[in-house]
Structure 1
Amino acid sequence: MGIPKFERFFRAAAGLDVHKNDLKRYNDFVDAKLYDLFLIGTASAKANGRDVIEPQDLPVTKGLQESIHAFDKLEEGIELRPLLDQLAARPTLGMEAAEDTQQRLPDLAGGLSVALARALKTIARDTCRPSTDQWDEAFELFDLLI
């Protein structure tokens, strides 16, 4: 994701000012959480006797689904989808993903992005620019949940 769109997205999603140095941290977060979702999706597909990951195999919670919907509304003005298409490369875990599942990757990345921005806003209540420690706290929370 380009730096100006990254900054604009976090401003629109949660009223936060992020620094260009936060972009790598953000990219690593999205990669790690997509990997985690597909790790569970792979196990779910295997448990259901399939050799392809279907959308229903991914553990999308109510909160993540709501964040995906919020991303859809935000995305119209910022046009992030092409950038998320590049960012949201499917993790390789030895199992193919169905076409429908692959098409959901930018939405999942967008939903994770909105959820992260809002979590940072909650953690960094007294500032518009989250610190490194506050980013780390947000990551720890997501590690507990996804």
Structure 2
Amino acid sequence: MRASVPFGHATPDTVGFAHRERRCNAVVTRTLYRMLLSAQATAATHHRYIIEPGDLPITQGLQENIDRFTGLAQRLDLDRILAQLATYRPLDRIPVTETKARFPDIVGGLTVALARTFTLIDPEMTHPRPAHWDGWKCHDPEPGTHILSRIYGGAVASAASIEPHVQFPA
């Protein structure tokens, strides 16, 4: 039986795939949720009870990674993304349909950013192991904050010439 893949994507079965899938999903979903918290604050500042697409903090670097993902002609399942977001505390503002429609591409862009981050940190790595995931957490006041949460638009954007060779489940 084939392991389920993140957000409905199919990839080859490999040793440790399920572990990488869980880690990738956790990091990317947590980062999307934090982006939604930021968008919620922007909507509140504008006295709106809805989150518009323009409220999302899409940096130039993240937009480049979203463009890379869309160039792969992959589609992610919005329902699976929403189901994973449902495990977090509910937002005070409601994302409009147009905002939700951007989630699959944002998740894809975050996944590309994650793969590129691993490539930047260790150019020789092709399959992240548990020690890689655990060893690259930021020294942040919030336990478990992963490096992607810090650089999904910063350092990754400055390395536009580096292509990921990490084999990820997305």
| Fold-level similarity (TM above 0.5) | yes
Cα deviation, residue 48, structure 1:
0.9
Q: Deviations over 1:93-129 (max 9, x none)?
A: 1211111101001011011011001111111212222
Q: Which residue of 1 is the match for residue 5 of structure 2?
A: 2
Q: Which residue of 1 is the match for residue 112 of structure 2?
A: 114
Q: Give 1:1-146 correspondences, 5 Å limit.
A: 2=5, 5=9, 7=11, 19-74=17-72, 76=73, 79-82=74-77, 85-89=78-82, 90=85, 92-136=90-134, 137=136, 140-145=146-151
Secondary structure of the structure 1 residue equivalent to 2:18? coil
Mean alpha-carbon deviation: is it higher for 122-131 or for 36-45? 122-131
Cα deviation, residue 27, structure 1:
1.1
TM-score between the two structures when normalised by the length of structure 1: 0.78
More helix by share: 1
Judged with a 3 Å threshold, the aligned counterparts in structure 2 of structure 1 residues 63 and 2 are, in CA distance, closer, same or farther, namely: same
C-alpha RMSD of matched pairs (Å) = 2.5
CA contact (8 A) 1:120 1:135 kept: no
Alignment gaps of 5+ in structure 2: 138-144, 153-170
Cα deviation, residue 30, structure 1:
1.8
1:141 partner letter: I
Secondary structure of the structure 1 residue equivalent to 2:17? coil
Separation (CA, whole Å) in 2 of partners of 1:145 and 1:130: 18
CA contact (8 A) 2:20 2:129 kept: no
CA contact (8 A) 1:7 1:18 kept: no
2:80 partner letter: L
TM-score between the two structures when normalised by the length of structure 2: 0.68
Aligned length: 133
Judged with a 3 Å threshold, the aligned counterparts in structure 2 of structure 1 residues 97 and 5 are, in CA distance, closer, same or farther, namely: closer
Cα deviation, residue 18, structure 1:
6.8
Alignment gaps of 5+ in structure 1: 9-16
